[in-house]
Amino acid sequence: MPIEYKNVYWLWLSLAVIVLDQVTKQLVASGMQVYEVIPLLPFLNLTRMHNTGAAFSILSGASPLFFVALGLIVSIGVLVWLRMNRTGERLVAIGLVCIQGGALGNVIDRATRGYVVDFIDFHVAGWHWPAFNVADSAIVIGAGLLMLDMVLQHKHQEAD
């Protein structure tokens, strides 16, 4: 059975992630000062942060161009993987475009600002998870969907 290459249909979701990410970052950047905190719930604040590094501010001294190049490489890799993915494997396709949308959302920040705007601040008993944004959320959701697909595939193979 030949592989069909119709997964490009899901690229609209990548675009939706990018738009939602950029709109929310612009709202935060235009309406809040850096480090300003707006409490929303007992465990959730809006807190404007500037992240010059990767996840958890790793490599914060690296050039924004390094992260732009890395994000573009990831995006190209996702497009190749998406094209090679079988049409019926929706979890993989959705996971990939979520990762791509998140990566490109953060690439846009790094290319235009030199840093990524983070603003979602979860905390419990004085302990704060590192601030993140919509793009970061999409990347985590996408990775989770890929892992879920792997687990489901493994269980399906065991049942055969």
Q: What are the domain boundaries of the chain? A: 7-52+59-159
Q: What is the band of 4 on the pLDDT scale with cuts at 50, 70, 90?
A: low
Section 126-145 average pLDDT = 95
pLDDT at 1: 44
pLDDT at 7: 77
Which residues have a catalytic role annotated? 118, 136
- Stated pTM of the model: 0.87
Q: How many residues does the chain have?
A: 160
pLDDT at 27: 98
Q: Which helix (H) or strand (E) holds 2?
A: none
Question: What's the CA gap between 48 and 132, in Å, rounded?
Answer: 10
Burial class of residue 26 (count of CB atoms within 10 Å of its CB; 0-12, 13-18, 19+):
exposed
